[in-house]
Amino acid sequence: MQAASAKLYRWATEKANAKHAPLWVGIIFFLELILFMPMDAVLMFFCLQNRSRALWYVLIAALASMLSALCGYLIGHFLWDLIGDYIVPHFISHHAFDRIAGHFQQYEHWAVFLGSFLPLPLKALSLSAGVFELGALQFIAWVGLARLFRFMIVGGSMILWGETVKTFVDRHFHRILVAIGAKVVAISLFVWLMAR
């Protein structure tokens, strides 16, 4: 496991220091809809490797994340009629679905902003927004604002305290991967329990 994490670390360092690093940031954050990885950690890593480009990475990440959210919204909006009857009784109860729909409609803007700002899966938020037919323009605007604010905190932190963080990451990369994996499992379990 440690050998694999060392290999992953070297690969990520190469990409973060490459000439086309901004393109990698854009691709990774655009694929956020299908990737199961904490995006803040990805952005942090890129900003650590090249702090002079941190704000540029933040802008690219926020824009790519908005595009990813729009794709999720459109998938949820247009595919729900095809798959909704399969999902509601099998993956989520009718009661839970109606409760979530009510919350979304009552707290639409706050739900989108907080869901995009907090470390929750963007795929769940964007698909749900499409299913519940929230306004597309308002959805994208709130996602963009929340993501930009969140990523500015990450990028700004790396500019201010990057050397200390880089030393810690270099020393404990393997443990960080294990903690991230545990977080992904915990969030998945929480979402599954909420849907029951």
pLDDT in tens, 32-81: 888 777 788 788 888 888 888 889 999 999 999 999 999 989 988 888 77
Q: pLDDT value at position 9? A: 64
Q: Are 127 and 76 in contact (CB under 8 A)?
A: yes
pLDDT in tens, 73-110: 998 888 877 766 666 655 556 666 677 677 777 777 88
> What is the model's pTM?
0.76
Query: Mean pLDDT for the chain?
Result: 78
Per-residue pLDDT at 191 exceeds 80: no
Q: pLDDT value at position 62? A: 95
